[in-house]
Amino acid sequence: MIVTLTANPSVDRTVTLAGPLQRGAVQRLTSVTSQAGGKGVNISRAAVAAEVTTLAILPAAPADPFVVSLGEDSIPCLPVGPAGPVRTNLTVTEPDGTTTKLNSPGAEATPALLDALAEAVLAQATEAAWVVVAGSIPPGVPAGWYAELMAAVRHTPARIAVDTSEAPLVALVDGLPGSAPDLMKPNGDELASFTGADAATLESDPQAAARAAATLVDRGVGAVLATLGAHGAVLVTAEGAWHATPPPTTVVSTVGAGDSSLFGYLLGDVRGDAEPDRLALGVAYGSAAAGLPGTTIPHPSQTRPDLVEVRPLELPSGAPT
């Protein structure tokens, strides 16, 4: 089972423009879609499509329309309260695939809510193959809360994957190795934020991205899956490093692509695939998501891991090889 925690869930509303975004102008929309989302929820949604047992843990009232929507989509959900209203995030998509995101902060979390969420995660972790902690933290949550939760989950049988950014990511890295997860999924910007490297260089240079990711493995992280946009992704573990190039993709919306990549890797792991094959499946999922509108999460039949090229990377002496 894959258990996901989405501490700051969102109703993801996507508007598609007929032309390029023009500030200060009145523009017509070609479509508007809404979906219950958030990084962890997206991963649980992908798991359901792949027929992998999952449970999405999130702060919400049982009767909240967000929870009702997940039920209608057959996504197993454990709402934890008390919680405020679920936030709404707006994504503006242009015809060339350019995506602009406007994210609201979400309801403020109380210490009681954080304790309840942690208790729920730890209880479910006893039966889980993976616990995925993903997304931002709501207002009122200490930056180190994810790091503390990682340390607690490490005492359960479950492995831990984390995908976050900004202050929670910094706190997690600062807490290594005590907070080390089994898998981290940064993008180029996030990898640069704690290595001091240039984000554009990391995204365009897989070798540089792998060297940066290796610093995390050196500090106790089990594996680093660094997504690099159109340049694919790199995977670094104690056993080696690999770069995967995605198949040709017409980008429609990049929202949810990183979440899909993370799920693809986890799916490969659940299936018992070798590390390069997990990477290929992750990149196949990410590129498939980028070719779909809004926050649409791909079905396995929409992915083409056979078109993903994977090559090994050499790391300097002293780094994982």
Q: Does residue 186 lie within any of the structural domains?
A: yes
Which is catalytic among the residues 163, 182, 205, 259? 259
What is the total count of domains within the chain? Answer: 1
Between the alpha carbon of residue 282 and those of residues 75, 184, 185, 277, 300, the distances in Å are 21, 13, 11, 9, 11
Q: pLDDT value at position 83?
A: 81
Q: Does residue 257 lie within any of the structural domains?
A: yes
pLDDT tens across 180-216, in order?
999 999 999 999 988 888 899 999 999 999 999 999 9
Question: Which secondary structure element, helix H or strand E, spans residue 45, and what is its range?
Answer: helix 39-49
Q: Does residue 248 lie within any of the structural domains?
A: yes
- Closest of 168, 124, 128, 125 to residue 148, by C-alpha: 168
List strands edge to edge, sheet with 10-17.
29-37, 10-17, 87-93, 99-102
pLDDT tens across 150-190, in order?
999 999 999 999 999 999 999 999 999 999 999 999 999 99
Q: Is 72 exposed, middle or buried (0-12, 13-18, 19+ CB in 10 A)?
A: exposed
Q: pLDDT value at position 129?
A: 97
Averaged pLDDT of the chain: 93
Over residues 90-103, mean pLDDT? 89
Q: Does residue 21 lie within any of the structural domains?
A: no
- Encoded tokens for 155: 């005492």
Over residues 39-54, mean pLDDT? 96
8 Å CB contact between 89 and 11: yes
Residue type, 31: S
pTM of the model: 0.91
Q: Is 209 exposed, middle or buried (0-12, 13-18, 19+ CB in 10 A)?
A: buried
Q: pLDDT value at position 212?
A: 94
Q: Does residue 317 lie within any of the structural domains?
A: no
Cα separation of 46 and 39, whole Å?
A: 11
Q: Does residue 192 lie within any of the structural domains?
A: yes
User: Peptide bond before 82: cis, by omega within 30 degrees of 0?
Assistant: yes
Over residues 56-85, mean pLDDT? 93
pLDDT tens across 55-69, in order?
999 999 999 999 999
Q: pLDDT value at position 321?
A: 37
List strands edge to edge, sheet with 309-312.
77-80, 54-59, 2-5, 130-134, 159-163, 183-184, 223-227, 233-237, 241-245, 309-312
Domain that holds residue 172: 2-8+31-312
Q: Does residue 134 lie within any of the structural domains?
A: yes
**HEC readout, 190-242:** HHHHHHCCCHHHHHHCHHHHHHHHHHHHHCCCCEEEEECHHHCEEEEECCCEE
8 Å CB contact between 268 and 281: yes
Q: Does residue 155 lie within any of the structural domains?
A: yes
CATH number at residue 109: 3.40.1190.20
- Active-site residue, 259 included: yes
